[in-house]
Amino acid sequence: MLRPALVAIGAFFTLMLLYSFGAGAVSYISEPPAATVEHEFHLPPKEVAFSFNGPLGHYDRQQLQRGFQVYKEVCSACHSLKFVSFRDLQQIGYNEAEVKAIAKQWAIKTPDVDPATGEMSTRDPVPADKFPKPFANNVAAAAANNNAIPPDLSLMTKARHHGSAYVYSLLTGYQPQPAELLKKFPDAATPPGLNYNPYFPNLNLAMAQPLVAEGQVTYTDGTKPTVDQMAQDIAAFLTWTAEPKLENRRSAGLAALVFLAIATGLAYAAYQNIWRDKKH
């Protein structure tokens, strides 16, 4: 008795599933979803070659230092790096003395407590400190940025699909709204205070174009600071802040694959040697 009942229940749910699938397909064909401006004009990230692309890729320390310079001189006024310490910069080629100087000369001071009075105060950052936040709190951040709170950039390339390419595309993607968009979607004009960028999911964002002209940053290694170059460099730097152990992880993975390949060969050879005379 139990088996027929279970078969009947299974058949019922299968039929309901097929009915739901068929009804959904018919509905989609007869009444397709209305076109949206985001669906038609949102663009996938641009293709860009980074040294760390691919399973054997690695960071270009010079590029990371240039990217840090872009962050320091352009991005740090609004965006924080709350998971990164000044001393972490030694991983991208700065020595201890340089890290101490960078921390001491940082434009934003670190909140602290006066040990004599117990009152809040500020002090120069030290290498052990995280990068100071540019705003005291979210209210201050929103007030200074058209009611939009600038996101922390520490893990930005991990939080976005095609993270490195997304950051690069966003920074180089600011443009006027296409006439075709306004003609097809007259109500989709970019609101005042926002900026059109087809690489942003809803096409309009509060952040004004941060990289506006060649020479905005002066690179110490002599690299020409075009907008495209600065965008690539900051995208690479933010990839490092999100994945500082990327090279170690890939090296460990490669070593594991080599070990498994050797172990597999030895195991097969042992199998052949042990069972060679026992095959019929």
Which residues line the annotated binding site for heme c? 75, 78-79, 207
Residue with tokens 């940025």: 145
Distance CA 267, CA 173 (A): 54
Of 248, 249, 269, 251, nearest to 259 (Cα)? 251
Question: Is residue 79 within 8 Å of residue 132, measured between CB atoms?
Answer: no
Distance CA 269, CA 172 (A): 56
- The distance in angstroms from the start CA to the end CA of the chain is 49
Beta-carbon count within 10 A of 6 CB: 10
Residues whose CB falls within 8 Å of the CB of residue 38, separated by 6 or more in sequence, listed in order: 201, 202, 203
The structure tokens listed for 277 are 């005379």
Cα Rg for the chain, rounded, in angstroms?
27
Of 164, 157, 148, 102, nearest to 127 (Cα)? 102
The structure tokens listed for 166 are 């997304």
Which residue ranges make up the annotated binding site?
A: 75, 78-79, 207
The structure tokens listed for 179 are 């006439």
DSSP state of 130: B
